[in-house]
Amino acid sequence: MSLGYAEKLSYKEDTGTVGMTESFDSPQTLQEKIEELATIIKHSKHLVAFTGAGISTSCGIPDFRGPKGVWTLQRDGKIIPEASLPFDRATPSFTHMALVELEKAGILKFLISQNVDSLHLSSGIPRDKLSELHGNSFRELFPSCGREYVRDFEVETIGIKETPRRCSNENCKARLKDTVLDWDDALPPKEVNLADKHCRMADVVLCLGTSLQVTPACNLPLRCIRGGGKVVIVNLQATPKDKKAGLVIHGLVDKVLAGVMQLLNMRIPPYVRIDFLQICFKRLISKDNDQRYVRWALSVGSVHGSRAPLPFVRSVEVLFPESTLLKGAILTKPPFHLTRQMLSRPLQMLVKLNFGDGCSCSCTSIDFPLNFEAPKGSIDDDTDGVVQKLRDSALNDPSRGQCEIVERKSLLSSKSEITTYAIVTNVVRHRCSPVVSPSKENGFVRQTYQNIVKRLNERTDGNEASPKRLK
């Protein structure tokens, strides 16, 4: 979880059991359980995933109750370490992307998350197949109409409080609220009702990286048992629900899912991060002794509003590569704003964006030709099409920083143009490798791999759908 999120929570003396010992199944036991889990997933009819902070620790986000969790360190009076990278630049883990692939294959029917890090949405899980029980640090909501806004920065407040932004609907303009729950806030009805519905429909609920201590969310997975379903828990620590689970695996979630995906012969899609920004250009032409001058202003900002932060951009350089008389500028503090006055003539300008920590490329450049005589013309491309084009380009080109125009609109009243760009800022490839490598010394693993295809195609009685569920 975000350290900032933990600091925003109100004080609570009892945060549950923390600092429990982590357990690891032996390599042989782990491989047997991974094989069993792969069989369960392969033959499931309605698979639901239930995730906790443990699936995000490999992303650089600390958990709460682990040996080095936020609550554990606080209890022991120890200093909480700073996050290894900005919260808004965390990238989805192997587990996040494995769940995306299972959903695309039609195996995973629904996902329930207790996390507020927005990594499930970033990974590509459809919003209508996701319940975020405790909210999302990057999502704002207008409660009356249910309109949602997903940001690329962490929202300032928690506890369903008003934020500095307003609904974009011209007939509304009401103040938005954050979606992250504080300790005493009730679960949002829409999210919990969907989660409850799918847990009751499920024949398998797969709990990943969760201590299953936070109520009432932790009781949802048990709903499937009443209909003949099975709960599977993958966690390093013991949980209060272990005795009711059909299978408990003590292992790193990423390694367990890596083994499962390999046995199912499923690849893990690369994660491509695409960010958006706007460049606003305003001009005012005037005459001085028959010379035409133009005073113009350039602003580089967020698509979420002029006052919203642009966290992935560290600085902006404005260059004039074809002119030795014009001096460039380096903008180091947001809002990135530059004003100049010069003769009104066509000119080539280069806007160089220098990215911050967590981006796999250090910078990218945008050619921005200046023509003060007429607007450049409007563009309104299909955003999904542009994003898909950039994804394909990023996967085929090892360089980063590819960008495309999504929209350009001219505002005649203010003599300005606003251009929206989509930019590839990160590409992460996950490799699916076996948890235990076959070797001459490990006859069990050799035998397991030789028989895996046969075993996966055998349906056991325990995996048959119950008559109640079929009805």
* Secondary structure (3-state) at 284: strand
To the query of whether residue 134 is one of the catalytic residues in this protein, the response is yes
* Torsions phi, psi for 412 (to 5 deg): -65, -35
First to last CA, the chain: 40
> What CA–CA distance (Å, rounded) separates 165 from 177?
8
Residues in a beta bridge with 230: 204
> What CA–CA distance (Å, rounded) separates 246 from 204?
10
> What CA–CA distance (Å, rounded) separates 308 from 83?
23
* Torsions phi, psi for 199 (to 5 deg): -65, -35
Structure tokens of 157?
């407040």
> What CA–CA distance (Å, rounded) separates 406 from 221?
41
Residue type, 306: S
Query: Could you give the C-alpha distances from 380 to 123, 278, 407, in angstroms and in order?
Result: 26, 14, 4
Residues in a beta bridge with 299: 280, 337
Structure tokens of 375?
């607007």
Residues 96, 134, 250, 430: which is the catalytic one?
134
Non-local (6+) Cβ contacts of 350 within 8 A are 318, 319, 320, 321, 365, 366, 367, 368
Alpha helices in 182-311 (DSSP H): 189-201, 223-226, 253-263
DSSP 435: S
Q: Is 66 exposed, middle or buried (0-12, 13-18, 19+ CB in 10 A)?
A: buried
Q: Is 38 exposed, middle or buried (0-12, 13-18, 19+ CB in 10 A)?
A: buried
Chain centroid to Cα 345, Å, comes to: 44
DSSP strand pairing (379-380 vs 363-370): unpaired
Q: Is 112 exposed, middle or buried (0-12, 13-18, 19+ CB in 10 A)?
A: buried
> What CA–CA distance (Å, rounded) separates 273 from 265?
25
Is residue 69 within 8 Å of residue 75, measured between CB atoms? no
* Torsions phi, psi for 184 (to 5 deg): -95, 5
Report the catalytic residues. Answer: 134
